[in-house]
Structure 1
């Protein structure tokens, strides 16, 4: 039995048929650190442990039972993120890093967001925000648009951690910063991207009709797309509008927006466009989300898709995890608890931090446990997710 962290890392790595070099690349941790951890001569810090655990598809507590959890680290960082936003409209201190370095660091933060690595984001977000804002305030006309994009990307990364961990007031402030920064760039596509994120505010509060109206207005303000980037931004906005319309009970509107997104995805490869995943696979994932949001007779469509298709590695881990959570809910509602539990385990494999903070995942595990209290593996999962 593995009795130290390194042995657990090595056992998980071998079970996934990964070399040490594979794990180093997937986790963005140096190969010497991976080798040292596995030999027991180096001890990973919290952020390194989380990065390795995420690459292995497990929660960090599975590698180190004494680990206190990502949640504590994120909540500890929230006041610093909030402080970084104070007086965001005012030029204050100069940035600590040059623009090229900031660009690379924010690119890493975007990758962490898409991989649901919230602990890593929370640790870096305060200074990323300060530096991005400082660059925007001091930018020349030639660099103002890029600086505005960097502020939006940094705020969006921070928002992912704030939103997932229930800090919805801070999330709303971060979205205000995104909207303000977007106003400094003459880029309609960036405005569409910010509208996509702003929908979180309405989803968090259950104000689905208001959110649907806001998104419709954002779509009306969009120009006809003429590049892959603009097509993807408009398509992503249609995908999110479809989900919000479904939550508002507007089935016709939801399906109309899905069809628009599907048309825009034709000929576009699945990929990341301005920080948002879009393409044919992402549209199909949203079709499942729409079906589950509408409920009732629509659930069958979600189950039909899940029987014959699942997203591949071209889709970010957080979105693959979300697909599995949506499918699990459809399976549970249709009377297939065993299949629902399989889907929730698959969701955890893709993005454990995302699953652990997802309210639907916790609700469904609570329901499954009431149905099958004698299942030890289900009890273990419920303890991990905080449902007991």
Structure 2
């Protein structure tokens, strides 16, 4: 049987349709395409536009990259969007003329984009984010004064969604520019909790530069400036900052600071229901995932803590896909460090099933897959296939 990557696009659609136990008519109806078009796609008689690919993926309940198959195809679509994204944010002070939808429609579009970010659907984000950001920038210039605060908040959310793609795909200069624009726009929304959320996102620039101690200081300054209150949104804002601070303190090797911020995150997490606040998942379950992150960040002497969590608990399906896949990526590293190579590979495969694009482009996945390949050379064809899928060792 040919490997998944050897299948054509149409064959992958047909395979996923059969797995979902759908007829061609049922899939066509769910995707909003003509059944004759679907038949031609499945037998390779015609291609599919980006919109049709997305519609079929949504109807099948799979990530777009599952249908594209080739890593190069998915990557090419993401990288092709970077110049357009860069051009849109460069025109912030003097945007081009163009249409602007009503505020209610913009809310829906941004909510959808945030959903894609939490699900790690980077191909979809890359296709839609430049146009959405350009439209929001125009709206920010044209809208009546009473709408501008809300539009500023929507723009920050859209910029954060685009930044997730830029950062994950290594466009670090573009990511830094997106973060700078977020920091400039956020105060115009009149919401101090949004400013705190941007401080959380900004930490990725410190991770990228390996400037862990300065990153910790920036987060602690954000905590000093963040509102204090007992409502869920305010508690979650402070909790997410402490979660992030715990991880970056761990990367800096500051055990006491990491434990202090993790304790604060756990205390605050226990006070609110697990949910997405200001675009970030927070609650008891998210904090538990960060316990694993902190243990792995602190290094070999602390990984037993990560394994203890993983042995007694697994993230529920209700958590965002990106966060759940991140848990298994971190656990795989802890397992690899303690000599549990087979378990580590199983964890990486679980991460891939949950969020393939997030897993494939995670640097730790590439490093660990390359290490596993060396340790078990020739032992498993599936390991070699996995390593090639994520370009391990490149």
- The TM-score normalised by the length of structure 2 is 0.89
Superposed, 1:143-222 pairs within 5 Å as: 143-222=147-226
In 2, the alpha carbon distance for the partners of 1:36 and 1:216 equals: 58
Instruction: Between the two structures, name the one with larger relative contact order (CA 8 Å, sep ≥ 6).
Output: 1
Partner of 1:326: 330
In 2, the alpha carbon distance for the partners of 1:159 and 1:219 equals: 22
Alpha carbons of structure 1 residues 36 and 153: separation in structure 2 relative to 1, 3 Å: farther
Please identify runs of 4+ aligned residues in structure 1 that moved more than 6 A.
34-38
Partner of 1:316: 320
Does 1:241 pair with 2:213?
no
C-alpha displacement at 1:233, in angstroms? 1.5
Deviations 1:163-220 (A, max 9, x none): 0000001001001111111121221101000000000100011010110111110000
Total equivalences in the alignment = 381
Q: 1:70 pairs with 60, 68, 74, which one?
A: 74
Q: 2:275 pairs with 257, 271, 276, which one?
A: 271
C-alpha displacement at 1:51, in angstroms? 7.0
Partner of 1:376: 381
Alpha carbons of structure 1 residues 160 and 139: separation in structure 2 relative to 1, 3 Å: same
Alpha carbons of structure 1 residues 381 and 217: separation in structure 2 relative to 1, 3 Å: same
Partner of 1:351: 355
C-alpha displacement at 1:331, in angstroms? 0.2
Partner of 1:121: 125
Q: Residue 6 of structure 1 contacts residue 37 of structure 1 at CA under 8 Å; is this kept in 2?
A: no
Partner of 2:113: 109
Q: Residue 329 of structure 2 contacts residue 364 of structure 2 at CA under 8 Å; is this kept in 1?
A: yes
Which stretch shifts more, 34-43 or 298-307?
34-43
Deviations 1:318-373 (A, max 9, x none): 11111110000000000000000000000000000011110000000000000111
Does 1:85 pair with 2:89?
yes
Q: Secondary structure at the match of 1:225?
A: coil
C-alpha displacement at 1:5, in angstroms? 4.2
Which stretch shifts more, 50-59 or 227-236?
50-59
Q: Residue 254 of structure 1 contacts residue 290 of structure 1 at CA under 8 Å; is this kept in 2?
A: yes
Superposed, 1:295-306 pairs within 5 Å as: 295-306=299-310
C-alpha displacement at 1:18, in angstroms? 6.3
The gaps in structure 1 that reach 5 residues or longer are none
In 2, the alpha carbon distance for the partners of 1:67 and 1:208 equals: 31
In 2, the alpha carbon distance for the partners of 1:226 and 1:169 equals: 38
Q: Residue 100 of structure 2 contacts residue 135 of structure 2 at CA under 8 Å; is this kept in 1?
A: yes
Q: Residue 57 of structure 1 contacts residue 351 of structure 1 at CA under 8 Å; is this kept in 2?
A: no
Q: Residue 47 of structure 1 contacts residue 119 of structure 1 at CA under 8 Å; is this kept in 2?
A: no
C-alpha displacement at 1:32, in angstroms? 4.1
- The TM-score normalised by the length of structure 1 is 0.90
In 2, the alpha carbon distance for the partners of 1:343 and 1:385 equals: 15
Partner of 2:390: 385
In 1, the alpha carbon distance for the partners of 2:154 and 2:386 equals: 38
Q: Residue 271 of structure 1 contacts residue 314 of structure 1 at CA under 8 Å; is this kept in 2?
A: no
Partner of 1:131: 135
Which stretch shifts more, 2-11 or 332-341?
2-11
In 1, the alpha carbon distance for the partners of 2:140 and 2:183 equals: 14
Deviations 1:53-80 (A, max 9, x none): 68656773x6455674221111111011
Alpha carbons of structure 1 residues 126 and 97: separation in structure 2 relative to 1, 3 Å: same
Alpha carbons of structure 1 residues 18 and 273: separation in structure 2 relative to 1, 3 Å: farther
The gaps in structure 2 that reach 5 residues or longer are none
In 1, the alpha carbon distance for the partners of 2:106 and 2:384 equals: 44
Q: Residue 95 of structure 1 contacts residue 132 of structure 1 at CA under 8 Å; is this kept in 2?
A: no
